[in-house]
Amino acid sequence: MTAFDEMLPQVDGLRKPYTGYDRWLQTQQAQRLQDKMRDAERVFRKTGITFAVYGEEDAAERLIPFDIVPRIISGAEWRRLTLGIEQRVQAINAFLDDIYHRQEILRAGRIPKDLIARNAAFLPEMIGVRPPAGVYTHIIGIDVVRTSEDEFFVLEDNARTPSGVSYMLENRETMMQLFPELFQKVKVRPVENYPQLLRQSLSATRPEGSSSQPTIAVLTPGSYNSAYFEHAFLADQMGVQLVEGQDLRVVDGHVAMRTTEGYKQIDILYRRVDDAYLDPLTFKPDSALGVAGIMDVYRAGNVTIANAPGTGIADDKAIYSYMPEIVEFYTGRKALLKNVPTWRCSEADSLKYVLEHLGELVVKEVHGSGGYGMLVGPTSTKVEQDAFAAKLKSNPSNYIAQPTLSLSTCPIYTDAGLAPRHVDLRPFVLVSDRIQIVPGGLTRVALKEGSLVVNSSQGGGTKDTWVLDD
């Protein structure tokens, strides 16, 4: 498959959004750019921008690779994307409210009841619970891929605890530090106000009766978590406390954090702890990461938990295959952004097709993330396909399959010059009494030539994402 290159398409040459950047690039010496690549690595190492790789003891902490060639999106392209993302986010929040209350979409037969009832991400404990301000997904990351000049697809919805926004912010800061003159030549929309927008958005979903300036804290599983850098970074940037479960307790019907002056009430908890570990009295009894009794406080409406427990049902990959129906059901309009065609392996005919075409498809676990537990058919061996076929047959409902899309490419800078690599995009959406989308997001890039897997845990890197101010 020939991929569409967002900077230098084979047919038409340089695309318009890259005109200003390319004019600057032509004036740069190769040695200077190579030096800047090394400078960027030193910046990331000094800042401590790392991520953990589970299961690899010799490489528990890695420096996330960064490429100095930006991914550039025109203002018109961005406006089109944001309309589709806003529609999708509205539908996701309406879906969650419906699933945990009247379940109209199930009554209408638009989604099979078993897909909800037997789904591990569905929390019966949330039935009848309406979160403060009616918001379930306060922060959402929508993964978007491009296949041509005018064709965009949503690859997946991240509605539980989406990560990566700290890399978006650090990528921009690093680029501005390395190439300050470039930002004078090309007008790029800012992203650095995200922490302030996040704090304002969270504050707007405070519980009834709380102060107009509520107390916010970020709940982290601790320093061994793969995204701990981001937890600490966001708490620092918002000017709020970073806490662990051991720092919190329930006091007089509210969640409170330990301070030098005693326990202080928390109104909003931006949690980066999975549902199962959130409350040992409700979920996993041996969890030391959460807060005993927090679900009782939540049900009473005395604390906002962002994102709400149970939101994982909205980013389940089997539910994803029904997103066009979900969007239309709750918005009354066809989805503006396309889904990738998806085979649900729980269905006999789909399973048969997938097993017969493993070499052509991408197969994923329905609850998988980070690029783990998946098969990329075109780059797999016969031995890998046979092993995966056995997994599919033993537990078909755990998998979905999709065609191998020809993801667009953007150039990266190598010692030999520019070279195309496949990319995706994760815009970050804030939901309160309104929907706000920071202009840009996190572009992930598959640094290995020909690879379609962009996850950092699988060897991918990141780029600064520019939305032009036009």
Find the mean pLDDT for residues 13-32.
95
Q: 159, 307 in Cβ contact below 8 A?
A: yes
Contact 375, 400 (CB under 8 A): no
What mean pLDDT is predicted for residues 407-425?
A: 94
- Residue 470's pLDDT band, with cuts at 50, 70 and 90, is confident
| Stretch 155-172: mean pLDDT | 93
Contact 343, 401 (CB under 8 A): yes
Short-list 252, 1, 308, CA closest to 138: 308
Q: Are strands 216-219 and 241-243 parallel, antiparallel or unpaired?
A: parallel
Residue 289 has pLDDT above 60, yes or no: yes
Residue 215 corresponds to which tokens in the numbers above? Answer: 């107390």
pLDDT at 224: 86
pLDDT of 212 = 87
**Strand pairing of 268-271 and 216-219?**
parallel
Give the per-residue pLDDT at 59: 47
Across the chain, what does the average pLDDT equal? Answer: 92
pLDDT band per the 50, 70, 90 thresholds, residue 92? very high
- Token pair 């049902």 is at which residue? 313
Separation between Cα atoms, residue 362 and residue 375, nearest integer Å: 6
Residue type, 313: I
The secondary structure element, H or E, covering residue 256 is strand 254-259
Determine if the pTM surpasses 0.85. yes
Return the half-sphere exposure (C-beta side, CA atoms, 13 A cut-off) of residue 2.
Answer: 4
Task: Name which of 429, 458, 433 is nearest 444 in CA terms.
Answer: 458
- Average pLDDT, integer, range 270-284: 97
- What are the structural domains, with CATH classification, of the chain? 16-207+303-340+405-467 (no CATH), 343-403 (3.30.1490.270)
Six-digit token pair at 464?
Answer: 């600064």
Q: If you average pLDDT over residues 126-147, what whole number do you get?
A: 97
What single letter denotes the amino acid at residue 191? V
Instruction: Please determine, for residue 286, whether its predicted confidence score (pLDDT) is greater than 90.
Output: yes
Mean pLDDT confidence for 163-189: 95
Phi and psi at residue 442, in whole multiples of 5°?
-100, 115
The closest of 191, 201, 188, 138 to 166, measured between CA atoms, is 191
- Tens of pLDDT, residue by residue over 43-79, are 888 877 665 554 555 445 667 889 999 999 999 999 9
Q: What type of residue is 436?
A: Q
DSSP 293-322: THHHHHHTT--EEESPTTGGGGS-HHHHTT
Q: Are strands 268-271 and 304-306 parallel, antiparallel or unpaired?
A: parallel
DSSP 188: B
